[in-house]
């Protein structure tokens, strides 16, 4: 069995310094201090790779999501990081479409990894560093904009 993570894979594949800051937690603990640390690290970075996604509690085979948003803490973090460094690549990990308001159009790249599996960390690192180029077709329709119908 192979289980890897993007941070370790990036550190193994480049001679550049790779600095990590969590930025958020899925349980909501230490949100402010984690975000502040990430913004401080981002402000001094040549480039930022910001990993965002849905927590397991937000999606499952057993129920339908009632919204398409990333968690609010992640959206706040993205806005704060983009305010101090526009050179941000967003890497998404989610099982279904999410809206990217406030992110799309403000960042030079977005990498949709979906639920990549056990070796998705090294796959993301290979794509980010230009070692591999993803190809294929989307199995899902992604709307360019989302309009909420008015209440009836």
Q: In the prediction, which pLDDT does 2 show? A: 72
Contact in structure between 65 and 59 (CB atoms under 8 Å): yes
Ranges of each domain in the chain? 6-128
Q: In the prediction, which pLDDT does 105 show? A: 93
The alpha carbons of the chain give a radius of gyration, in whole angstroms, of: 16
Q: In the prediction, which pLDDT does 11 show? A: 96
CA 39 to each of CA 14, 20, 51, 81, 104: distance values in angstroms, whole numbers, following the listed order: 23, 11, 14, 5, 19
Contacts of 56 (CB under 8 A, 6+ apart): 26
Q: How many CB atoms lie within 10 A of CB 33?
A: 10
**pTM given for the model:** 0.90
Largest CA distance in the chain: 58
Q: In the prediction, which pLDDT does 112 show? A: 92
Q: How many CB atoms lie within 10 A of CB 10?
A: 20
pLDDT tens for the 152 residues of the chain, in order: 678 999 999 999 999 999 999 999 988 899 999 999 999 999 999 999 999 999 988 888 888 888 889 999 999 999 999 999 999 999 999 998 899 989 999 999 999 999 988 999 999 999 999 999 887 777 777 777 777 777 77
Q: In the prediction, which pLDDT does 131 show? A: 95
Q: In the prediction, which pLDDT does 24 show? A: 96
Q: In the prediction, which pLDDT does 113 show? A: 93
Q: In the prediction, which pLDDT does 126 show? A: 96
- What single string gives the DSSP state of each residue in 29-94? TTHHHHHHHHHHHHHT-SSEEEEEE--GGG-BTTB--S--PPPHHHHHHHHHHHHH-S-EEEEEE-
Domain 6-128: CATH superfamily, name plus number: Glycoside hydrolase family 3 C-terminal domain (3.40.50.1700)
Distance separating alpha carbons of residues 121 and 33, to the nearest angstrom: 25
């Amino acid at each position: 069995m192979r289980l890897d993570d993007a941070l370790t894979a990036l550190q193994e594949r480049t001679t550049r310094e790779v600095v990590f800051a969590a930025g958020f937690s899925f349980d909501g603990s230490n949100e402010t201090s984690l975000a502040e640390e990430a913004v401080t690290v981002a402000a001094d970075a040549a480039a930022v790779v910001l990993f965002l996604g849905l927590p397991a509690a937000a999606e499952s085979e057993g129920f339908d999501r009632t919204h398409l948003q990333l968690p609010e803490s992640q959206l706040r973090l993205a806005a704060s990081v983009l305010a101090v460094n526009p050179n941000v690549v967003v890497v998404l990990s989610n099982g279904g479409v999410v809206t990217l308001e406030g992110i799309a159009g403000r960042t030079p790249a977005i990498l949709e990894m979906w639920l990549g599996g056990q070796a998705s960390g090294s796959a993301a690192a290979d794509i980010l560093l230009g070692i591999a180029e993803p190809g294929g077709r989307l199995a899902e329709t992604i709307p360019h904009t989302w309009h909420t119908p008015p209440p009836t």
